[in-house]
Chain A
Amino acid sequence: MNIFRLAGDMSHLLSVILLLLKIRTTKSCAGISLKTQELYVVVFLARYLNLFTRYYSFYNTVMKLVFIATSVCIVWYMRFHKVVKQTYNKDLDTFRHYVVIPPCFLLALLVHHEFTVMEVLWTFSLYLEAVAILPQLILLQRTRNIDNLTGNYIFLLGAYRALYLLNWIYRFFMEKAQARWISWISGLVQTALYADFFYYYIKSWKNNEKLKLPA
């Protein structure tokens, strides 16, 4: 495992820990999109089915279980926790997230590496993950006061994707890995969606101002 991959995974893990910490300590999920979180549950369940078919490493197995468990846990908090659910910005989180699931699945049926159940589900999870952040970015744009934890959560999530791009470049040149266009392109699309957010996040950080996205 190269340094970019490890840093990417750690950034992803940290983002989830940060979000859970925000929810548990402030008893609030304000600014967090339930739609995005629900899409992540679908992404992880579809992708990590290979938990049962193939063993890679202890690290790999533990991380998969952590990502499945934490994503379910976050959705549970936002939907069912007596206090937390009342802080959810339901009226602002209006992206109809279920409409992106069928097109992603259809695309996975058409464009994949190999036509097997596991491979199509894996590919579906890549396509879905690429767009899963959209409801969150839309909610963010509608939120007047973005708290630091929410801003940092999205930054870490975007950093995870950007580091994975570096990881693929490293693997391609240093490990002579095969070209994997499906992962690369969907990863590139996913990272590109963060570009605008990154721009304003870094700007606010440099100017020592509160993060605010233009309407």
Chain B
Amino acid sequence: NAESNVHDEL
């Protein structure tokens, strides 16, 4: 999933 790539970062 492209979205989860950096969106789990703060």
Contacts and interface: CB of A to CB of B under 8 A. Distances in A.
Interface of A: 5, 9, 12, 50, 54, 56-57, 60, 63-64, 67, 113-114, 122, 164, 167-168, 177-178, 180, 183
B5 A180 contact: yes
- For the complex of A and B, list the 4 residue pairs with the smallest distance between their C-beta atoms, beginning with the closest: A56-B8, A180-B6, A183-B6, A178-B5
Interface of B: 2-10
B10 A64 contact: yes
A182 to B, nearest CB: 9
Contacts of A177: 5-6
B10 A63 contact: yes
Contacts of B4: 56
A1 to B, nearest CB: 8
B2 to A, nearest CB: 6
B1 to A, nearest CB: 10
Contact of A5 (B2, B3, B5, B9): B9
A29 B6 CA distance: 33
B9 A50 contact: no
A50 B7 contact: yes
Contacts of B9: 5, 164, 167, 183
B4 to A, nearest CB: 8
A178 B5 CA distance: 7
A168 B8 CA distance: 12
7 contacts: A60-B8, A64-B10, A122-B7, A167-B9, A177-B6, A180-B5, A183-B9
A131 to B, nearest CB: 18
A204 to B, nearest CB: 29
B10 A12 contact: yes
A63 B9 CA distance: 10
B8 to A, nearest CB: 5
